[in-house]
Amino acid sequence: MAGELKWVAVDLVGFNPFGEQFIDESLQTILHQIGTVKQWTEHFGLMCGHDASITDNVARLLTEGVKHWNFQPPMWHIYNICPEATPATWWILLCADNKKDKQLYSKLAICAEDFHPFVWNEVTTRAWSAVFLQAVKAEMTAEAKEWLREQYRAYDAYAAGAGPVAG
């Protein structure tokens, strides 16, 4: 049925013949656009009107939160493609899919208000940062799924004869 989301094994997923094919050079370009975590947080912090205390907290949240993250593909594979990549910049790339960097930063900045790495010990800091990143990733994924559902509904309406539908 159109509009229904299915979870399948990654082996069953093929390339979209109509979309941009992801190659190593495009990954390098995207990671180069992200830059360092500090550059990324300062750029979007400036857009959101945040001072250095918030952008530094977001950067720390990212770098601490991904220390024990299990990435697929593994980070050694990413380093082979793009040596300047870090786990935090790779996490940003994965979560800010479809140019949602500002939205991702805004969600992280909200978490950063309750993130106190200079008060907590190392174990607590790492645990809370991982929880915050998991929550933000889940929220970004849920919003992406809802957007996709809306696109499917618009397509179904168009296919049923409703004509062009904004969506």
Quote the pTM value.
0.77
Rounded CA separation 6/8 (Å):
6
Percent of the chain with pLDDT over 70: 81
Query: What distance in Å separates the CA atoms of residue 86 and residue 35, rounded to the nearest whole number?
Result: 10
Phi, psi of 97 (to 5 degrees): -55, 145
CA angle 73, 77, 79 (to 5 degrees): 125
Residue pair 88/37 in contact (Cβ under 8 Å)? The answer is: yes
Looking at the predicted structure, is the pLDDT value of residue 17 above 90?
no
Does 111 or 24 have the greater pLDDT score?
Answer: 111
Percent of the chain exceeding pLDDT 90 equals: 39
pLDDT at 19 over 70: no
Residues 6+ apart with CB under 8 A from 133: 61, 62, 65, 66, 69, 91
Q: What is the pLDDT of residues 96-153, one digit of tens each?
A: 877 889 999 999 999 998 888 878 888 898 899 999 999 999 999 898 888 888 888 8
Q: Average pLDDT for residues 33-44, to the nearest whole number?
A: 94
